[in-house]
């Protein structure tokens, strides 16, 4: 089957979307954004230029900056990935050091390799019960910068894929007091500005740069992202030059137009639609309270995004969430974002209706969970914290060989191992592989998780640095 045929087949299923992108098959935007082919133009006179905006693109960027209350906002058409590359390389030069939260998305690690930047890691706690990564606490930030005072700044993710929000104000105040910079990967947080009832966005809490994927939580086309700059600590010209470097020279006007449309919608009705969604989610939560098997994830001492729905085991009975995802898709035409060993992630947006949630509640009420209980899970997935042996860039560019992962104990990885989604690397170049990592990767592989970096026909090989 080819792409068009495949897409038609999926589209004919008329799925209820609890996954990205946030426009949910174009709902809400039809009066803001139409005439797709006519709008797919290039930099002809009157169309401005993303790489040197002076006219309509500049005006749109100014409107975005106004909405997000920051100095400058840049449209990024190559996803938050390109924004993250640019931000990281604008803050640190080759051989400089950054402190990175180890649960960062792979784009942060790619930026380290591309920019020849060294990194030290903060390892946030993992909640054993739900498998979710906790917020970054101020104590570990202080500890890191006391140990590595030469580091230029910190990169962290907030909200995470699971909706966990870090204490950005405390962290940015501390970093600024010692002359350092905070970059927040806010790919999952473009919607936070819409209502006072939502947790604070990171720019309002002092982040120097925040990068947001509009397409994840707002109604915008995939790859629509925005980088916000709210700091005099960053060299603006360097940042702009890096944004030009990391983006296509043929930026899609459709993507840019969808960002403009999303912005118009948010300015017109974002608050009311968001509060309406929060009410619908509250009704959904109330209904879920009586569920015997699943509940919404809670996390001690952490702020959670109320719009990110993670369902986890209610009691000690363990639900097979991969099965649950299949049943929701095949029997109820509901597509969730992600299922994993300990839960299921749903990404609603203001484009979801009460009807969508009623269908979801009904499905959860009528599915026979008794058949989904895993009687005895012999092995639960353990979080593994690999030891760093080499710099990420040196490891990536070293001579490497592919070997079966079963034989890779004590070897150093020269490639990433990344389960997708959410795209957080288990192993990065330069880290030593040990038996628990081997066990974990094989376990995930057996569960059918899509793992980037596994090689060979049966996807059991891994690239390691050649031994002398």
Ligand X SMILES: Cc1ncc(COP(=O)(O)O)c(C=O)c1O
Q: Contact residues for ligand X (CB under 6 A)?
A: 79-81, 105, 107, 157, 161, 185, 187-188, 213, 225, 422-423
**At what angle are helices 236-245 and 79-91 packed, to 10 degrees?**
140
Residue 27, SS3 per DSSP: coil
Unique residue bearing structure tokens 């930030």:
141
The pair of three-digit structure tokens given for residue 131, joined into one six-digit string: 């498998």
Nearer to ligand X, 157 or 231 (CB): 157
Compute the least distance from the CB of residue 212 to ligand X, in Å. 9
Query: Least CB distance from residue 53 to ligand X, whole Å?
Result: 20
79 vs 343, beta carbon nearer ligand X: 79
Q: Decide: 109 and 116 in contact? Cβ < 8 Å.
A: no
Tell me how far, at minimum, the Cβ of 184 lies from ligand X, in Å. 10
CB closer to ligand X, 83 vs 429 = 83
Residue 457 burial (10 A CB sphere; 0-12, 13-18, 19+): exposed
Name the nearest CA neighbour of 263 among 19, 66, 82, 17. 66
Tokens of residue 90, six digits: 């604008």
**DSSP assignments along 84-114, one per residue:** HHHHHHHH--TT-EEEEETT--HHHHHHHHH
Residue 239 CB, nearest distance to ligand X (Å)?
A: 17
- Confirm if 410 and 377 have CB atoms less than 8 A apart: no
Least separation in angstroms between residue 271's CB and ligand X is 24
Q: Is the Cβ of residue 18 or residue 161 nearer to ligand X in the bound state? A: 161
- Cα separation, 152 vs 98, in Å, equals 6
Nearer to ligand X, 29 or 184 (CB): 184
Beta carbon of residue 449, minimum distance to ligand X (angstroms, whole number): 15
Closest distance of CB 165 from ligand X, Å: 13
Q: Which residues contact 300 (CB under 8 A, 6 or more apart)?
A: none
In the complex, least distance from residue 24 CB atom to ligand X, rounded to whole angstroms: 17
* Distance of alpha carbon 291 from alpha carbon 289, whole angstroms: 6
Residue number, 188 or 193, with CB nearest to ligand X: 188
- Give the strand pairing for 343-346 and 338-340: antiparallel
Residue 109 contacts residue 321 (beta carbons within 8 Å): no
User: What is the DSSP secondary-structure string of 31-100?
Assistant: TTS--HHHH---S-TTS--TTS--SHHHHHHHHHHHHHTSSEEEEETTHHHHHHHHHHHHH--TT-EEEE
- Output 187 or 319, the one with its CB closest to ligand X: 187
**Position closest to ligand X via CB:** 79
Shortest reach from residue 185's CB to ligand X, in Å? 5
Nearer to ligand X (CB atom), residue 204 or residue 222: 222
Residue (50 or 464) nearer to ligand X, CB: 50
Cβ contact 219:349 at 8 Å = yes
């Amino acid at each position: 089957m080819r792409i068009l045929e495949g897409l038609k087949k999926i589209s004919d299923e008329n799925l209820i979307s609890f996954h990205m992108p946030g426009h949910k098959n174009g709902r809400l935007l039809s009066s803001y954004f139409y005439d797709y082919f006519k709008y797919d133009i290039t930099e002809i006179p009157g169309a401005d230029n993303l790489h040197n905006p002076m006219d309509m693109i500049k005006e749109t960027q100014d409107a975005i900056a106004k909405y997000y209350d920051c100095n400058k906002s840049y449209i990024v058409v190559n996803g938050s990935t390109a924004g993250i590359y640019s931000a990281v390389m604008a803050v640190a030069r080759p051989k400089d050091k950054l402190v990175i939260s180890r649960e960062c998305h792979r784009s942060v690690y790619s930026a380290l390799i591309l920019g020849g930047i060294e990194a030290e890691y903060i390892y946030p706690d993992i909640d054993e019960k739900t498998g979710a990564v906790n917020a970054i606490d101020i104590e570990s930030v202080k500890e890191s910068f006391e140990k590595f005072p030469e580091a230029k700044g910190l990169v962290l993710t907030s909200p995470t894929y699971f909706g966990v929000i870090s204490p950005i104000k405390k962290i940015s105040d501390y970093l600024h007091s010692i002359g350092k910079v905070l970059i927040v990967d806010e790919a999952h947080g473009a919607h936070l500005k819409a209502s006072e009832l939502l947790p604070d966005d990171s720019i309002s809490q002092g982040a120097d740069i925040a990068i947001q994927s509009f397409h994840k939580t707002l109604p915008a086309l995939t790859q629509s992202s925005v980088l916000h700059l709210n700091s005099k600590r960053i060299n603006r010209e360097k940042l702009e030059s890096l944004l030009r470097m990391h983006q296509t020279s043929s930026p899609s006007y459709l993507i840019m137009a969808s960002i403009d449309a999303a912005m118009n919608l948010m300015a017109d009705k974002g608050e009311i639609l968001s509060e309406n969604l929060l009410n619908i989610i509250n009704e959904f939560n109330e209904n879920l309270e009586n569920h015997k098997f699943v509940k919404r994830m809670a996390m001690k001492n952490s702020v959670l995004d109320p719009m990110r729905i993670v369902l986890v085991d209610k009691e000690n009975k363990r639900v097979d969430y991969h099965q649950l995802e299949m049943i929701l898709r095949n029997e109820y035409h509901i597509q969730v974002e992600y299922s994993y060993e300990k839960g299921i992630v749903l990404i609603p947006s203001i484009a979801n209706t009460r009807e969508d949630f009623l269908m979801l509640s009904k499905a959860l009420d009528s599915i026979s969970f008794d058949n989904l209980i895993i009687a005895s899970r012999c092995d639960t997935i353990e979080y593994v914290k690999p030891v760093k042996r080499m710099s990420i860039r040196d490891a990536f560019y070293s001579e490497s060989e592919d070997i079966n992962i079963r034989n890779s104990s004590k070897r150093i990885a020269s490639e990433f191992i990344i389960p997708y989604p959410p795209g957080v690397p288990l192993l990065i170049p330069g880290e030593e592989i040990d038996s628990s990592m081997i066990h974990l990767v094989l376990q995930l592989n057996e569960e059918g998780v899509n793992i980037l970096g596994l090689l060979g026909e049966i996807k059991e090989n891994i690239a390691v640095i050649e031994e002398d």
